[in-house]
Amino acid sequence: MDFADSLYELSKKASVRIKSIRTEEATKSGLVMPFINMLGYNVFDPTEVVPEFTADIGERKGERVDYAILKDDKPIMLFECKLCGAELAAKSAIQLQRYFHGVPEVKFGILTDGVRYLFFSDLDRANLMDSKPFFVIDLMNLEDAAIEELKRFTKPTFDAKDILGTASELKYTREIQALLRSEFSSPTKDFVRLLASRVYDRQFTQKAHERFTPIVKGAFLRFINERINETLETAKTLQGTAAKKEQSVSETEQGTATEQASNGIVTTVEELQGYYSVKAALSGSLSLERVVMRDLRSYCSILLDNTNRKPICRLHFNDTEHKYLGLFDKGREEDKVQITKLDEIFNYADRLRATVERYESSKSRPKEAMPNTGTQNP
């Protein structure tokens, strides 16, 4: 079971357990400890997880944080837990901030009610925990991007410098997204003024504000809808082109398809749609004729130039319950992310393009070792 599967499994268990949790201790044992354990840290090993960790602050002795995660005998994360369902208010964050300051070597403080996990660091001032989290994950509302970010905190991959390197960008991106969502649903006067000033050269009065507010909101909605429609139209065009090519398939290709079927390989409609979506996501960055699908027994491989040396991604759609998109990092190791809908493939367009760009930029360099693409015959 990969990390995403484990997290979704914990989410299912949490949705049942929260109905019975009435105390903070039950929150810890039923939700927080399993979460820490899922990250790869043994909650029963005091060299990895220390409950009631001492965080003395000046003359205030005996201050204790609920859990400390250790690496090489040094704390790397502090967990402050509240009753499940409790508001994770500023007062609770201030309490964690005191503990954070009392343990100068730690770089990450997590405030949680067992369902929502707020990750803090000292991005603004060294050894002074920020007032706002740079990352939040909700077990009842999991998103692919959040799962990928959380994976970086697991024991096998934890690298504080690497996480901190992108934490500021993650923090401000999250805050800007929240602002955009708010402006989208209810544009503020300043936001309306900002946009109207580019097209309206008169004085921005209250009457002008009342006039432009619905215009801005409507324009915002239309812009988003048009972008979605453009993406869908590109996918449909590519699907239609591919369908025509399928109709004119040569006898040799037909023989290959027959051979695949006899080997138990069946290309499903969803795999074809996923293939077209990948091509749509890559449109504009290369000639799409170079993007080739090769179906295997356990997954469908999308290749550049029809070579196993250049895997763009893999479609793991054979599982009837879950679908996964296999992406490739710089080391050509596969990273499987769960998707629920095929259009979520577009969320990873940048990573798909980055993979292609790496292959293109390596043309002038010595050939790298062939990635592990399995031993199955296409």
Query: What is the distance between the alpha carbons of residues 67 and 51, in angstroms, rounded to a whole number?
Result: 4
Question: Would the pLDDT of 21 be above 90?
Answer: yes
| Share in percent of the chain as helix, strand, coil (round to 5) | 45, 20, 35
The type of residue at 324 is Y
| Torsional class of 89: left (φ above 0), alpha (ψ -120 to 50), beta (otherwise) | beta
Q: Do 66 and 167 belong together in one domain?
A: yes
Domain total of the chain: 3
Average pLDDT of the chain to the nearest whole number: 83
User: Do 210 and 355 reside in the same domain of the chain?
Assistant: no
What is the per-residue pLDDT across 244-255, written as a single tens digit (0 to 9) for each?
A: 655 554 444 444
CA distances from 194 to 187, 212, 221 (A): 11, 11, 17
Q: What is the domain extent for residue 30?
A: 3-177
**Does residue 368 lie in a domain region?**
no
Closest CA to 171 of 129, 221, 140: 129
According to the model, what pLDDT value does residue 256 have?
A: 46
Could you tell me if 85 and 54 are in contact, meaning their C-beta atoms sit under 8 angstroms apart? no
131 and 226 both lie in a single domain: no
- Of the residues 177, 204, 222, which one is the last residue of a structural domain? 177
Same domain assignment for residues 205 and 265: no
319-331 confidence digits (pLDDT tens):
777 899 999 987 7
Sequence-distant (≥ 6) Cβ neighbours of residue 268 within 8 angstroms: 317
Same domain, 67 and 133: yes
- Banded model confidence at residue 352, pLDDT cuts 50, 70, 90: very high
